[in-house]
Amino acid sequence: MASSFYLQKMQEEVDNLDGYMKQIKKIDNINTKDSRNIFILILIMTFIYLLIIVSTTYEENIKNTVLILYIIIWVLSLFVNSKKEGKLKKSFKFANFANKARIQFIINIMLNLILVCIIIYMHITFYNGEILYLPFILFIYTLIYFFQPYLIYLSDIIAGPLELLINRYYYIKAQKKIRSFDKLQIVGITGSFEKNSIIFIATTILKHKYRVLNTAESHSTFMDISKTINEKLNEKHQIFIVGMDTKNIGDIKKLSSLVKPNIGVITSIEKTNLEAFKNIDNIMKAKYEIVEVLPADGLAIFNYDNEYIKKLADKTFKEKILYGLKENEKLDIYVDDIEIVKEKINFTIKDKDGYSIKCSTKILEKKDLYNLLAGVSIAYALGLNFNEIKKGISKIESICVEA
């Protein structure tokens, strides 16, 4: 129970060991008094038991009774303490963990088994395995129990190099596989928000004409993308849409060494995650990597209404598509004729050549229109004409399209 709690704490709360230890200290500050009292209780019980068993005045049946009481109180004490540790956000499921967490879990089990074997060996060596000395063994188990957070910490340190080796294997395997599909069109999408919605919309529209594979929701890391390639990508797919997360400058360049997109999309740049990036310029630099890694004949897609993306688009000399709701004369794909009627919004999607699609939806937030425009721009970049895009949009349940 303790292992699963602290292991999932590491997965849910933090991305590094320092953050994990801060969480443990926070938990300890809440539970220190109760845990300390339980530990002191077991310590006192062990000391009293020691006095009883070494005394010659107590008969064997009394010693056996005290032993049984000790075991009962020991089990109840640890059970009560485990209830005070806290609740997990999700039920503990090994299958839900990432590869590193699985490695940590296995290593933690191995460390605990090694300690248990050492204790059993001590029991046999020093006490000839006599049952009356069991409380001493249980006391050592108590120490192991209360030090589980630090065993998880040690497991993480040991898991690091193993994870790198495993990741390297799957990365090379995925890289070789995706390189073998020379006709595959790859779309990389990055942005502060809404990547998953845009991936869904673009995939829905494109499926009208192409066989499309996309990364699953929140699966935008090296290992997530490698796993998708290794397990799902095949020669029948014509388009692969990849969400690309970036927490540091250089992340997208690293991801691109795996997938090599020929179409790059920047959907939004906001003043989020400033703790990691320090300032908005670093965020812009990190997101713009998706354009820098495009081949010479690649194509960049920009949300031109975003003030930060607009600056990036204006300095880009590669082929590009601009979308938005403002400055229609500068845009390739845009929304016009917006009309709110009761709980519906009617609007027209247009391109610079005069083609248009009239739509109606109950969605009233502007971000949803931007998501739709991004999806349309991706389909437009991949060769769908407006009639095909219109049929694709009609598959999106929340949107109605005029016949």
pLDDT digit of tens for each residue in the chain (403 aa)?
Answer: 445 555 555 555 444 555 555 655 555 544 455 566 666 777 777 777 767 766 656 676 777 777 777 778 777 777 766 655 554 444 555 444 556 677 777 888 888 888 888 888 877 887 776 777 777 777 777 777 777 777 777 777 787 788 788 888 888 999 999 999 989 999 999 987 778 889 999 999 999 899 999 988 665 677 888 889 999 999 999 999 999 878 788 889 988 889 999 999 999 988 776 666 788 888 899 999 999 999 999 999 999 999 999 999 999 999 999 999 988 899 999 998 888 877 788 889 999 988 999 988 876 677 888 999 999 999 999 999 999 999 999 888 878 777 6
Question: Is the CB of residue 38 less than 8 Å from the CB of residue 80?
Answer: yes
Give a yes or no: residue 222 inside a domain: yes
Residues 189 and 299 in one domain: yes
- Which range of residues forms the domain containing residue 254? 181-401
Question: Rg of the chain over CA atoms, in angstroms?
Answer: 30
Give a yes or no: residue 332 inside a domain: yes
Question: Is the CB of residue 325 less than 8 Å from the CB of residue 335?
Answer: yes
Give a yes or no: residue 171 inside a domain: no
Question: Is the CB of residue 155 less than 8 Å from the CB of residue 108?
Answer: yes
Give a yes or no: residue 173 inside a domain: no
- Quote the pTM value: 0.69
**For residue 278, is it left (φ>0), alpha (ψ between -120 and 50) or beta?**
left
Number of domains comprising the chain: 2
Output the CA torsion sign for 239, 195, 303, 324.
Answer: positive
Residues 195 and 157 in one domain: no
Give a yes or no: residue 95 inside a domain: yes
Residues 219 and 361 in one domain: yes
Residues 142 and 6 in one domain: yes
Residues 123 and 237 in one domain: no
Residues 349 and 381 in one domain: yes
Q: Is 313 helix (H, G, I), strand (E, B) or coil?
A: helix
- CA dist 82 and 76 (Å) reads 10
Q: What is the CATH number of the domain that holds 251?
A: 3.40.1190.10
Give a yes or no: residue 272 inside a domain: yes
Give a yes or no: residue 170 inside a domain: no
Q: Which pLDDT tens digit goes with each residue over 268-319?
A: 988 776 666 788 888 899 999 999 999 999 999 999 999 999 999 999 999 9
Q: Which pLDDT tens digit goes with each residue over 354-375?
A: 899 998 887 667 788 899 999 9
Residues 193 and 147 in one domain: no
Residues 227 and 373 in one domain: yes
